[in-house]
């Protein structure tokens, strides 16, 4: 069962209570200020300012208060593992992926080993959350990280991605397999040295993650921690996110060269237009080979193409 706890400021708590007031239930537990029950989610507000969402709809409900409000931005969505207090200063292999939300281009996953005695060095390189860094800086810093630390970098190109997707693999399963493989590669590289922990930037609950891997020949399971926003918990995950992003950019460069214009990132309306253009200039097979074909963008591009280019 999904269980999400948000620490929210009073003004947001009041909004939560007002929002669920007509679904209010009476629950007399220690420290409980308010409780409500939807068909698929229970909401409990504590005097401490914590709000717990429990059940199948937990993420959907929590999202309304955990992300949308700027005052609540800092509150972490807690659904991962209990973490050691000194995690940031330990020797860790971190892993992260990128490209999952981009219509064009691959999924890339990186795992990086940052031992305790290199944490400072990696921080000095300017490593932080790759989402806060521009592409130019990412390209430079990624090379510095790769020269300093053992790492593994995997690229799942569109052709293979589409093949797996057609076989029924979810994106979650593909990601799990790539993380597991990259982590295994780094463990092999650094053996007999071992990290204190392995830290995965979490994209699935632990049970779901290992269920994706149930048929894997090698399974990295020892001392594995899963946590969301892990790039802020240990520099190894931030480093991994930078290398993954770097690999994604390199692939996009190659593909853009092939077409003579820069392929659009993301999955928005500009992507639809570009995909329609490629349908016109290169045809469907080419578009399939550079895209995540099952995304809604494909259908939108086909409609645009019919409207614009065929009469």
Looking at the Cβ atoms of 204 and 276, the one nearer to Mn ion is 204
Q: Return the residue nearest Mn ion (CB atom).
A: 201
Total residues binding Mn ion (CB under 5 A): 2
Give me Rg for the CA atoms of the chain: 22
Q: What are phi and psi of 196, to 5 degrees?
A: -65, -45
Closer CB to Mn ion, 61 or 97, in the complex: 97
Which of 61, 96 has the CB closer to Mn ion? 96
Q: Which of 64-84 are b and which e, b meaning 16 or more Cβ less than 10 Å from the residue's Cβ?
A: ebbeeeeebeebbbbbbeebe
Residue 96 CB, nearest distance to Mn ion (Å)? 4
- In whole angstroms, the minimum distance from the beta carbon of 130 to Mn ion comes to 9
Q: Which two tokens stand for residue 302?
A: 């086909």
**Tokens standing for 140?**
């430079």
Q: Tell me the window of 29-37, 59-67, 88-96, 172-180 that interacts with Mn ion (CB under 5 A).
A: 88-96
**Whole-number Å distance between alpha carbons of 113 and 128:** 15
| Binding flag, residue 102, Mn ion (CB under 5 A) | no
Which range, of 35-43, 201-209, 247-255, 272-280, touches Mn ion by CB under 5 A?
201-209
| Strand spans (E) along 202-253 | 224-227
Residue 108 in tokens: 């890339």
We find the least distance from the C-beta atom of residue 231 to Mn ion, in angstroms, to be: 7
Stretch touching Mn ion by CB under 5 A, among 15-23, 87-95, 184-192, 196-204? 196-204
When the beta carbons of 43 and 77 are compared against Mn ion, the nearer one is 77
Interatomic CA distance for residues 19 and 13, integer angstroms: 10
Is the torsion defined by CA of 163, 168, 272, 137 positive or negative?
negative
Which one, 201 or 272, has the nearer CB to Mn ion?
201
3-class secondary-structure state, position 267: coil
**Cβ at position 280, least distance to Mn ion in Å:** 35
Place of tokens 């659904």: 79
Select the residue interacting with Mn ion from 65, 93, 96, 177 (CB under 5 A): 96
- State the nearest-atom distance from the C-beta of 202 to Mn ion, in Å: 8
CA dihedral for 94, 100, 104, 106, sign (positive or negative): positive
CB of 230 to Mn ion, least distance (A): 7
Which of 201, 243, 264, 305 binds Mn ion (CB under 5 A)? It is 201
**Interface with Mn ion (CB under 5 A):** 96, 201
């Amino acid at each position: 069962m999904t269980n999400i706890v948000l620490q929210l400021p009073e003004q947001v708590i009041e909004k939560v209570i007002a929002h669920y007031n007509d679904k209010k239930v009476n629950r007399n537990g220690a420290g409980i200020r308010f409780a409500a029950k939807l068909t698929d989610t229970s909401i409990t507000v504590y005097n401490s300012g914590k709000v717990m969402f429990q059940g199948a709809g937990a993420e959907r409900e929590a999202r309304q208060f955990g992300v949308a409000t700027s005052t609540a931005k800092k509150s972490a969505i807690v659904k991962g593992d209990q973490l050691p207090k000194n995690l940031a200063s330990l020797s860790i292999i971190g892993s992260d992926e990128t490209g999952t939300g981009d219509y064009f281009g691959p999924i890339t996953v990186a795992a990086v080993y940052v031992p305790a005695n290199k944490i400072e060095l990696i921080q000095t390189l300017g490593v932080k959350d790759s989402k806060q860094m521009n592409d130019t800086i990412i390209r430079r810093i990624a090379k510095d990280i790769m020269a300093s630390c053992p790492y593994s970098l995997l690229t799942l190109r569109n052709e293979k991605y589409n093949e797996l997707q057609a076989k029924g693999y979810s994106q979650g399963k593909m990601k799990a397999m790539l993380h597991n493989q990259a982590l295994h590669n780094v463990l092999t590289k650094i053996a007999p040295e071992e990290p204190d922990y392995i830290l995965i930037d979490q994209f699935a609950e632990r049970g779901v993650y290992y269920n994706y891997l149930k048929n894997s020949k090698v399974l990295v399971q020892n001392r594995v921690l899963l946590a969301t926003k892990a790039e802020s918990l240990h520099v190894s995950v931030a480093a991994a996110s930078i290398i993954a992003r770097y690999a994604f950019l390199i692939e996009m460069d190659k593909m853009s060269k092939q077409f003579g214009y820069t392929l659009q990132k993301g999955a928005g309306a500009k992507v639809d237009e570009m995909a329609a253009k490629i349908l016109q200039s290169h045809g469907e097979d080419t578009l399939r080979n550079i895209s995540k074909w099952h995304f809604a963008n494909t259908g939108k591009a086909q409609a645009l193409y019919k409207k614009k280019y065929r009469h």
